[in-house]
Amino acid sequence: MKGDTEASELALVLPGKLDTKDYPHMRSHVEYLANRGYCALSFDPPGTWESKGDISIYTVFNYHKAVNEVVEYFGNRPTFLVGHSRGGSIAMLAGIMNPYVRSFASIMSYYTFLPKVHGEYPDNTWKEKGYRLSQRDIPGQSAHKIKLYKLPYSFLEDQIMYDMGSALSVSKKPKLFMYGRKDTLVTPEVVKKGYEISLKPKQLQELDSDHDYRFNADLIQQANKYLGEFLDSI
C-alpha cells in the first residue's frame, strides 16, 4: 500500500492468474497511482502467495469477493480498479457490479470466460488428474527458484460461469482496455472485442509487448502513462 491512507479515493491494482502483488508492474502501478493522490494498494488473491488459505479457494468467485471486501474495508470510497490478465477480468467484473467503483482498466484480459471465447473447457486431462501444475517466478530470486501451485479442476469449473460482455455493453462507467501487440495468451483480437462491445465512455491502447510486460521497465511506464491519460480524461 502506498499514498495517503486518508485519501478521498481508492485504487486497487489486481494481479494476474497466480501472480503476486510483488511483481514489478503491480508495484509500479501502485506507486504511480499513489503519486496521483490515491490510497493505492495491491494484494495477493485468496489462496496464493502471502494471502491465507489453500489453493482450493483461488477462484474467480473468491477473488471478486476479496475485491469487494477491500473496497468495503476502506470505507467504500470512490474506487478505481486496474488489473493485468486475470486481474483485469476481475476489474471488469467488480467494476460493473460494485457501485463504489467509478472506473476500471483491464490490461491484456478476457472479457468473458465462456468456453466459446476463452476455450480450455472441458479439459479431460486436467479433470482426470485433479489438478494442473502451474509455476511462477519468485520476485527478486534467480530464475531457477520458482513457486509451484497445484491448481484444482474446480478452478476451471468456477471460471466458466463468468461473462462480463453483456454488462459491459450497458455500463456507463469509464473503461480502459490495453492489449499487447505480440500477446499470444490473450490476443489483441479478444481485447478489442471486449472494447467494441462496451458502452462509451471507453478507451483502447496498445502496448508493443507480449503478455508479460512486467519484465520490461519501459513498457511498465508506458502502461502507467496510459493509465494517467485515461484518468485525466474522466
pLDDT score, position 15: 98
pLDDT score, position 107: 99
pLDDT score, position 128: 97
DSSP secondary structure of the chain: -BS-TT-SSEEEEE--TT--TTSHHHHHHHHHHHHTT-EEEE-PPTTSTTSSS-GGG-SHHHHHHHHHHHHHHTTS--EEEEEETHHHHHHHHHHHH-TTEEEEEEES--SB--HHHH---S-HHHHHHSEEEEEEEPTTS-TT-EEEEEEEHHHHHHHTT-B-HHHHTT--S-EEEEEETT-SSS-HHHHHHHHHHSPSSEEEEEESS-S-GGG-HHHHHHHHHHHHHHHHH-
Per CATH, domain 10-112+162-233 is 3.40.50.1820 = yes
pLDDT score, position 142: 77
pLDDT score, position 49: 98
pLDDT score, position 144: 79
pLDDT score, position 117: 94
pTM here is: 0.97
Domain segments of the chain as ranges = 10-112+162-233
- Provide the residue-wise pLDDT of the chain in tens; the chain has 234 residues: 999 999 999 999 999 999 999 999 999 999 999 999 999 999 999 999 999 999 999 999 999 999 999 999 999 999 999 999 999 999 999 999 999 999 999 999 999 999 999 999 999 999 999 999 999 999 988 777 899 999 999 999 999 999 999 999 999 999 999 999 999 999 999 999 999 999 999 999 999 999 999 999 999 999 999 999 999 999
